[in-house]
Structure 1
Amino acid sequence: MSDGPGVGKGVVTPLRVVIGLCLVAPFVAMLWVGSYAKTDPTFIGIPFFYWYQMLWVIISTVLTVIAHRLWQHDQRGRRTGDSASAKGGAAR
């Protein structure tokens, strides 16, 4: 059975790889506890362990916004590409 044109066709593009990396990076940074399980250097009296995690809250927000904008760009490109191919196919 066919679900219709374009349904279920997952395409891996460089843009989608970048989107995935933007979304995975915070998880890797936070799950690798050994890299930040220390007290030095301190920042305004706050141990590294705490300010590193708080910094990743900001970085994660920025990376998520970037991933969202890239996803919107990707979807706009796919819509214009689909409509152009549909017009080209209908003209034949």
Structure 2
Amino acid sequence: MSQPPEVSRGPVVTPVRVVIALCLVAPFVAMLWVGSYAKTDPAFIGLPFFYWYQMAWVLISTALTGLAYKLWQRDQRARKGGAGR
């Protein structure tokens, strides 16, 4: 008898993967939307808003990328654990 065709496990959209995508896209959107931060006020410790907003996004981007990485690792472990059943 012939074997049944194997089902291809292609990309699957899950809520965790949507969160990962949002974590990775948010810094790009924030930096590309220049009109939201192209101003000088409010100043923070003498720095115009334009500069400290961008520097804050460096830290925020680091945190979001780290979160996305941890979520991706957890998602991959869950997929491998579920594939063996």
- Deviating beyond 3 angstroms after TM superposition, the runs of 4 or more aligned structure 1 residues are 5-8
Partners of 1:54 and 1:61 in 2: CA distance: 11
Q: Give me the CA root mean square deviation.
A: 1.6
Partner-residue secondary structure (3-state), 2:12? coil
Q: CA deviation at 1:36?
A: 0.2
Aligned length: 81
Pairing 1:33–2:26 present: no
1:9-88 pair list within 5 angstroms: 9-84=10-85
**AA matched with 2:44:** F
Deviation per CA, 1:25-74: give whole Å up to 9, x if none. 00000000000000000000000000000000000000000000000000
Partners of 1:7 and 1:24 in 2: CA distance: 28
Partners of 1:41 and 1:71 in 2: CA distance: 37
Q: Indicate the residue corresponding to 1:87 in structure 2.
A: none
**AA matched with 1:37:** A
Partners of 2:8 and 2:27 in 1: CA distance: 31
Unaligned 5+ runs, structure 2: 1-5
Partner-residue secondary structure (3-state), 2:84? helix
| Structure number with higher helix proportion | 1
TM-score, normalised to structure 1's length?
A: 0.83
TM-score, normalised to structure 2's length?
A: 0.90
Partner-residue secondary structure (3-state), 2:23? helix
Fraction of identical pairs, as percent: 70
Q: CA deviation at 1:83?
A: 1.1
